[in-house]
Amino acid sequence: MELRRVVITGLGALTPIGNSVVEYWNNLIGGVCGAGPITRFDASKFKTQFACELKDFNAENFFDRKEARKFDRCSQYGIVCADQAVQDAGFDMTTLDLDRVGVIWASGIGGLETFATEVTAFALGDGTPRFNPFFIPKMISDITAGHISMKYGFHGPNFATVSACASSANALVDAFNYIRLGKADVFVAGGSEAAITPVGVGGFNGMHALSTRNDDPSTASRPFDKDRDGFVMGEGAGALIFEELGHALARGARIYGEIVGGGLSADAYHITAPHPEGLGAILSMRTALADAGITIQDIDHINTHGTSTPAGDIAEPKAIVSLFGDYAYKVNINSTKSMTGHLLGAAGAVESIATLMAVINDIIPPTINHFTDDPEIAQLNFTFNKAQKRTVNYALSNTFGFGGHNATVIFTKYKA
């Protein structure tokens, strides 16, 4: 069976450093950091009092007040972001075969704010169960995919992927495979997350995963730096329109680039820690390269998972060196989480957009906030502190999640 080619024809982004793809990309290149004191709740008693919040987002600019209350912020972000991508793709809805358009939308946690609000209200009450009828539909992780399909009448495959912080990269790999196997012509794929809540911050503090650099939030996300002390939580959404090449050409679509490979694996090691030698990451990257039919020497750029955690930032470079050998030192590597923070289940989609834009523009965004080399980390070209120009024909994005989930996607320039 000959596999069909899959191109990207639409993009959408809501990030801590920009609420459009253009703004997001320009701020990535400029090394802008999205971290600051938490404004959503009083965090003064928390170990971590800062995050990379989404800025200048008002749900009532997109939904009427009554409608907005039916959606958790996670779904609000997803619906708005997906609409950006759908509009960017320029579909003629009167001729589009809606039965051949699917949605795979990810979230690592889903409606955490809704869950916490409802359970707290019950716990503080007199024991009488008075739950909001929208509690369950607002909370469940799959609901955003459902809302996106209902908004446009997309009848194709519709589901959510949940693999912690690898969730939306997992969604991209799944959408890629469905299209090239002929099961759909178009997919809206991506993810959203809105976990900057007392429960979210407190929970990650409880497992000592977050940076506590409260005196200097703007430099707290320090991937691959000796003094990194944990990740900075981010929020937002990323959406990509994947489309079968012939379908895109037939309607005269603008093509951003092509997805050519996807790899998935498991560390099978620990509930939160990565395998210390990066064995799962190696397998995920190797699988994606084989899927794309290319070699390590074809890769020009790697957007790493790079969370700024003590263990993760050692394991991933080890995996890259193990797989790429001496060629690893010739690849431009970065972590855009140094600017956006960690968007958890939305990270894979948001970072894939950055990776694709690097391919399109032949520019590698920097890894900011680097001050001191870590002798335990192989000193690869991490593109520290300043964007670098270079030709990028193939680029790879890694996303890993608690539970040992690993996902890798590979993008290239579109060639007719």
CA torsion 311-190-55-351 (nearest 10°) is 40
Specify whether 165 is catalytic: yes
Spatial distance between the Cα atoms of 75 and 81, rounded to a whole number of angstroms: 10
Q: Would you mind telling me the total number of residues written for the chain in this entry? A: 416
Lookup result for tokens 């539970």: 403
Scanning the structure block, which residue is given the tokens 């194709």? Answer: 156
Q: Which of 147, 247, 275, 305 is catalytic?
A: 305
Choice among 74, 147, 165, 247 that is catalytic: 165
Q: For the purposes of burial, counting CB atoms within 10 Å of the CB of 125, is it exposed (0-12), middle (13-18) or buried (19 or more)?
A: exposed
- From 147, 247, 275, 342, active-site residue: 342
Q: How many CA atoms lie within 13 A of 7 on its CB side?
A: 20
Backbone angles phi, psi at 245, to 5 degrees: -55, -50
Q: Quickly count: other Cβ atoms within 10 Å of residue 98's Cβ.
A: 14
Helix (H) or strand (E) holding 247: helix 245-250
Q: Is the dihedral of CA 285, 286, 288, 289 positive or negative?
A: positive
Q: Which letter does DSSP use for residue 193 in this model?
A: E
The reply to whether 247 belongs to the active site is no
Asked if 155 is an active-site residue, the reply is no
Instruction: Enumerate residues 6+ apart whose C-beta is below 8 A from 319.
Output: 277, 278, 279, 281, 282, 285
CB neighbours of residue 352 within 10 Å: 28
Residues taking part in catalysis: 165, 305, 342
